[in-house]
Structures are given as C-alpha cells and as structure tokens.
Amino acid sequence: MLLKPARGKISPFESIKGRRRREAVKLYGIMFPVLLHIFIFCYIPMYGIAIAFQDYHPGNPFIAFDGSVKWVGLDHLKKFVTGMYFTRLFGNTFRLSLYLLVFGFWVPIVFALLVNEIKGGAFKKFLQTSSYLPYFISTVVVAGMVLSFIKSDGIINSVIESLGGKAKPFTTDPKYFSSIYTITNIWKTFGWNSILYLSAITGIDQNLYEASKIDGANRLKQAIYITLPSIVPTIVVLLIFAIGGLLSANSEFILLMYNPAIYETSDVIGTYVYREGLLSGNFSFGTAVGLFTSVFNFLLLYAANSASRKYSSYSLW
Amino acid sequence: MSLLSKKNPNKIKEGSRIADFMIYFFAILICIATLYPFYYVAVMSVSDPMEVASRNVYLYPKGLYLDSYSLIIRDSKMWTAYWNTLIYVVCGTALALLTSVIGAYPLSVKNLPGRKWVVRYLIVPMYFGGGLIPTFLLVNNLGLYNTRWAIILPTAVNIWYIILTRTYFMGIPDSLRESAFIDGATHLQLLFQIIVPISKPILAVIAIYKIVGIWNSWFGALVYLPNENLHPLQMYLYRVLVQQTVNLKDLAFDEATEAAKKIFSNIQLKYAIIVFTTLPIIFTYPFFQKYFIKGVMLGSLKE
C-alpha cells in the first residue's frame, strides 16, 4: 500500500486498463450534472406521459403498482377523438400549418435567389439585415403590433377606409384569422429562413455560371437552371421538416392573437392543451391530446422522409 | 457595366437593365414591408395624441409628444420586469455556457468508454419529449412553481449547444491536450484554462442565442409564475398589450394634462412601451447578427 499513487498522478505500477477506467470515472464526473439534469428534465417528463392512460390527480405518483393509480387505457384519447371539438381543432391546426407551407415555403427560396442577384455590397447587406430583423423581435411584441394594426381603428382599417372601403372586423370575425396568421408568420421568418439557402448558393461552382453565359443563358435562366437545382437538397430537407410539423401550428403566437370570438378558426391543438389540460387542470386528458399530436407528427415526418428517399434520394436518415 | 462592354465588345452582356430594375424594385419593396411596421410604431409613439386619434399619422411624426415616454419611465412595474429579465438572462446564459462546456468536454475525449451510449442518451430527448403537462407537473413536484428557478432551471441544459460545442472541441489539435497533460494539468484545468479560452467563437454564438432566446421568452412565465413581481419583461408586455390587464392610463397623469389626451393616449402608451422595450434588441442586433448566422451554418453542417 506504500506504493499507492497520489490522486491525479499517473503511476507506472497501474495497469493501462485501470488507468483508462479511472480517467473515464473522472470524465463522467465532470459531465455528471449535465447527465442528471437531462435525466430529470427530459426523461422524467417522458415517463410522465404514462398519466395519459390514467386518471391522474395532483399528488399521485406517475406510476405505482399499489392500486393508487387508476389506469383507464385509451379512454382519454377516445374522448378527444370522438369529442365535439376534435374536427375543429384538428382542422384548424392542419389548415394553418398547410397555409404556411403552401404560401410561405417558397418565399425564402425566392428571396434568396433575389438577394443573390444583387451585386452591390452595402444595399445587399442592408436588405439581408432588415429581412432578418422581425425574427429577433419577440412574439409578444409582434402580436401586440399586429393586434393594434388590425383593430377597428388601426392602420389597416384606416387605409381601407381612405381607399373608400369599409372597415373590417379583423379581430372578431373568424374568417380573417388564417390570413393574419399566415402573413404575420411569413413576415417574421422569411428572411431568417433564407440564410440556409443563401449559404447553399455561395457553395455553387462559379464555372457553371461562366459556362452558361457562353451558352447564352440570361440571369433568369441561370437562376432557374443552375441556382435552383443546386439548392434542391436544402429545399428537400426543410420541406421534410415542414411536413413533419404539420400538426404543430405556432400555438405560442396563436395564444397571443386569438380570443373566444374567433376560436372557430383559431383554436388549435396546442392552445386547447394549454386551456383544457393546464388551466382547467385536466392533466391526464391534456397529456393524451399532446401525445396524440407528437405521434401524428412523427408519423408525418417518417412518411415524408420515406417518400423523399424513394423519389428524390434525399433523406434525413 | 456599359463602359466595360464598350471597351471590350467581345465580353458577354450580363443581364439587362430591366432585370436590374425589377430586382431592385422588389428588394426595396421587401425592405419597406419589413421595416415600415417598426417605423410606424415609433412615429405613432412620439406624435401628438390628437393627431394619432384622428388617424393622420403615417409617414412622419406630427407634433411632438414625449409624455408617454416620461410616464413609462416612471412605471415601476416595467422596471421590475426589466430587472427580472436581466436576472434570467444573466443566470440562464451563464448556466447554458457552463453546462455546454462540461457536457461537451468528456464527449470530445477520444476512447471514452461508453461514449456511444451517452451520445444516444443525448439524442433521444431532441426528438421526443414529455410535452407541456408532464413537464409542468415535474416542475410543480420539485417545488419550483412560482419561483425564479422555474424559469432558470428547466432550460439550463441545451443538448443542441452541447453537440455544437463538442464538434468545436473535437477540432482542437490533440497536441495541445497532450502537452497540457505532460505539464501535469488535470482535466478541469485543461478545460477551463486552455480549451475554453480558445473556444470563444462557439461560446459567443451560444451566449447570443441564449440571450436573445431568454429576452424574448414569455410562455414559461405564463405557465409557471403567477407572481407578477417575478415576471420578465415579455410577460409584462403580454399583460399590457394582449391581456390588457395592466391599464397604462392608470399611471398617474399630471393634473394639468388635458382630459382628451388621457383618453387618446392609451394606445400611444402601448406604442411607446413597444419602442422602449424593443430598442435594446434593435440597437444591438446588427452586432450580434453575424453570430446568429454562424450558428445556423454550424447547425446545418451537422445535417
């Protein structure tokens, strides 16, 4: 025992295996707080999904086998799927995301192509900087601004009236919500989403453009036949993600924008989980609804990825 | 361009003037669409309340009225919220940096036994999560509900940042580690005295992402903090702009202020508070923008 090495020093008498094990213990010791945090804040809530299949009341353990937990199987899920709001919630969530996909997905691509055509340094920088700006402004401020613009005497109605139209009840008539949601979300993210496309464009071989010029291609043709095909991999990856998120509308934004008068078109699964699950305390039911969304989204992502792998040879995994 | 082509008639003509005109036309249109809403809010916030009420203000301020700002500056609730946000930003960013560094370092060491399993342990939560309610119940059971910790702790570790940092650490030459070990350094000394100082670029990216993220977040406060004295700035704004449970008109007006102004200035106070709370972001944004773009690039390399 006299030869026991001092801590932290490498002893010539220790086997290589033992030394490696000691190193590993030290390294895991360093990251232990992180592993513990992930266990508590990521894995325990996953295990908490179990309450979707019980009648959970605050104070119960998530899982127990002493009979204190009442298992109800898929009852909550059935209640949601057959419930009176299901079609409305599912429809709204799907429709809002689909609008964003159809009307918004191509905007950053076109914007990236446009930016790429601008050769001047200062203006190009200004254009990019201002297009990213809305992304950095908080959702609360954006919602507050939009709400003040669309109210009965806001700027939008002022302009409509000064053009001879009639003021429209944007905040209380359900039929306007989809447009407001789609336009605001596109406005907030198009610049930011163009960054990935722009970085893909900078990687394109300049010789392609030189060659096409000799063949007489103008700038529009170059954009369509060289730039666009070169960024197809990026487009496909982002499209798969967008399809995978079809059942996850931006509920944080909707929570700020909606009111009971327009629930008909604006209430989505995320906001419903917040109201019914959290505010009303139906924890098991809310968890079941949330689980339904996650599973459905994952299936969509999986389907989109498989389709892409089959037809375009690009895929996430 | 035209000069060039005159000098060199064989040079192939690049684009037409019409194409250029169209491109710049749309580019300027986009600039207006993104910037005008902010400009409008700023202009409204400083114009005369009567002009604002009669909806005459569009392009430039009419009259000058700064009382909204002086009222807001005297609003103690807003300063409490500013202070809370500052606490959340400082603690949250410090924790995120610390956990990214200590989480990434062991994973960047070659031959770490079991590394494959730890990486899987990290990747699973990036795809699956418990969702809103189980997380809420957990925070409640831990006794964090209605304390500052409910905002700081659950988001202290970000797996994505750990992976970014690890990628960066792995690009550091091995010779640096080896020479440190020969000099008798421990892992922690190596990490904090040698690796962290040369990893400033990635740590800056993480810090800035985190700062902006915390500055803009409000949903955590909505779910976990019924106590208004703990609310961050965005939650205060939520109460003012959306819920309208804080009525800015109640802020003490001087008696001399005309009655009409009181009625009309509520909307203006909202514009002023938007300007006042968003200015820090708008002014610092051009400086931190490049770090954000770097972050996007780093992220896309992984894909």
Q: Are residues A191 and A251 in the same domain?
A: yes
A18 in contact with chain B, both atoms CB, cutoff 8 A: no
Which structural domain range is residue A31 located in?
16-47
Query: CA nearest A116 in B: which residue?
Result: B23
* B39 lies in some domain: yes
Sorting pLDDT into bands at 50, 70 and 90, what band is B26?
very high
* B75 lies in some domain: no
Q: Are residues B281 and B211 in the same domain?
A: yes
**Residues in B touching A148 (Cβ below 8 Å):** 241, 267, 270-271
Sorting pLDDT into bands at 50, 70 and 90, what band is B303?
very low
Query: CA nearest B191 in A: which residue?
Result: A30
Q: Are residues B133 and B273 in the same domain?
A: yes
Angle between helices B159-170 and B200-216 (to 10 degrees): 170
CB-based burial label for B264 (10 Å; 0-12, 13-18, 19+)? middle
Contact A141 B278 (CB under 8 A): yes
Distance from C-alpha of A239 to C-alpha of A308, rounded to nearest angstrom? 10
Contact B4, B11 (CB under 8 A): yes
Sorting pLDDT into bands at 50, 70 and 90, what band is B61?
confident
Q: How far is B112 from chain A (nearest CA, A)?
A: 6
* A89 lies in some domain: yes
**Residues in A touching B35 (Cβ below 8 Å):** 130, 133
Query: Mutate which of B133, B152, B248 to test chain A, going by most A C-beta atoms within 10 A?
Result: B133
Of B32, B95, B71, the residue nearest B262 (C-alpha)? B71
Q: What is the pLDDT along chain A (317 residues), one digit of tens a residue?
A: 444 444 555 555 667 778 888 889 999 999 999 999 999 999 999 988 988 998 888 777 777 666 677 788 899 999 999 988 999 999 999 999 999 999 999 999 999 999 988 887 889 989 998 999 999 899 999 999 999 899 888 889 988 988 988 888 998 889 999 999 999 999 999 998 898 898 888 888 888 888 988 888 888 888 889 899 989 888 988 888 888 888 888 889 999 999 999 999 999 999 999 999 999 989 999 999 999 988 888 898 888 888 888 877 777 76
A199 in contact with chain B, both atoms CB, cutoff 8 A: yes
Q: Are residues B208 and B285 in the same domain?
A: yes
Q: Are residues A221 and A290 in the same domain?
A: yes
Distance from C-alpha of B297 to C-alpha of B295, rounded to nearest angstrom? 5
For residue B52, pLDDT over 80 is answered with: no
Residue A63 DSSP class: S
Q: Are residues B195 and B288 in the same domain?
A: yes
* B10 lies in some domain: no
Structural domains of chain A, count: 2
Q: Are residues A98 and A226 in the same domain?
A: yes
Which structural domain range is residue B21 located in?
17-65
Phi, then psi, of A52 in degrees rounded to 5: -65, -20
Q: Which of residues 157-196 of A touch B (CB under 8 A)?
A: 158, 187, 191, 195-196
Q: Minimum mean pLDDT among A269-273, A287-291, B31-35, B176-180: which range? A: B176-180
Give the pLDDT score at B10: 43
Give the pLDDT score at B249: 56
* A67 lies in some domain: no
Contact A237 B237 (CB under 8 A): no
* B23 lies in some domain: yes
* A54 lies in some domain: no
Contact B139, B154 (CB under 8 A): yes
B110 in contact with chain A, both atoms CB, cutoff 8 A: no
Q: Are residues B155 and B97 in the same domain?
A: yes
**Residues in B touching A144 (Cβ below 8 Å):** 237, 240-242, 270, 274
* Residue A120, domain CATH: 1.10.3720.10
Contact B34 A47 (CB under 8 A): no
pTM more than 0.95: no
Q: Are residues A84 and A179 in the same domain?
A: yes
Q: Are residues B28 and B139 in the same domain?
A: no
Q: Are residues A100 and A231 in the same domain?
A: yes
| Residue where one domain finishes, among candidates B9, B38, B65 | B65
Amino acid identity, residue A231?
A: I
Q: Are residues A84 and A198 in the same domain?
A: yes
Q: Are residues A205 and A276 in the same domain?
A: yes
Phi, then psi, of B217 in degrees rounded to 5: -85, 145
Q: Are residues B61 and B85 in the same domain?
A: no
* A140 lies in some domain: yes
Q: Are residues A40 and A130 in the same domain?
A: no
* A112 lies in some domain: yes
Q: Are residues A154 and A40 in the same domain?
A: no
Q: Are residues B122 and B185 in the same domain?
A: yes
Q: Are residues A289 and A200 in the same domain?
A: yes
A129 in contact with chain B, both atoms CB, cutoff 8 A: yes
Q: Are residues A41 and A85 in the same domain?
A: no
Count other Cβ atoms within 10 Å, centred on residue A55.
15
* B271 lies in some domain: yes
For residue B3, pLDDT over 50 is answered with: no
Q: Are residues B42 and B152 in the same domain?
A: no
B266-295 residue pLDDT tens:
778 888 889 988 888 888 887 877 787 777
Read off the pLDDT of each residue in B99-103 and give the average, rounded to a whole number: 96
Q: Are residues B224 and B277 in the same domain?
A: yes
Query: CA nearest A51 in B: which residue?
Result: B134
Distance from C-alpha of A23 to C-alpha of A165, rounded to nearest angstrom? 75
Q: Are residues A150 and A26 in the same domain?
A: no
How many C-alpha atoms does A47 have within 13 Å on its Cβ side? Answer: 12
* B166 lies in some domain: yes
| Signed CA dihedral, B144, B145, B147, B149: sign only | positive
**Residues in A touching B14 (Cβ below 8 Å):** 213, 219
Q: Which of residues 71-110 of A touch B (CB under 8 A)?
A: none
Average pLDDT in chain A: 87
* B278 lies in some domain: yes
Q: How far is B227 from chain A (nearest CA, A)?
A: 16
Structure ipTM: 0.85
Of B94, B90, B115, B113, the residue nearest B104 (C-alpha)? B115
CB-based burial label for A246 (10 Å; 0-12, 13-18, 19+)? buried
A43 in contact with chain B, both atoms CB, cutoff 8 A: yes
For residue B140, pLDDT over 50 is answered with: yes
Structural domains of chain B, count: 2
Contact B241 A47 (CB under 8 A): no
Q: Are residues B142 and B90 in the same domain?
A: yes
CB-closest option in B16, B277, B296 to A196:
B296
* B11 lies in some domain: no
* Residue B208, domain CATH: 1.10.3720.10
**Going by C-beta distance under 8 Å and a sequence separation of 6 or more, which residues neighbour residue A223?**
A113, A116, A117
Q: Are residues B204 and B271 in the same domain?
A: yes
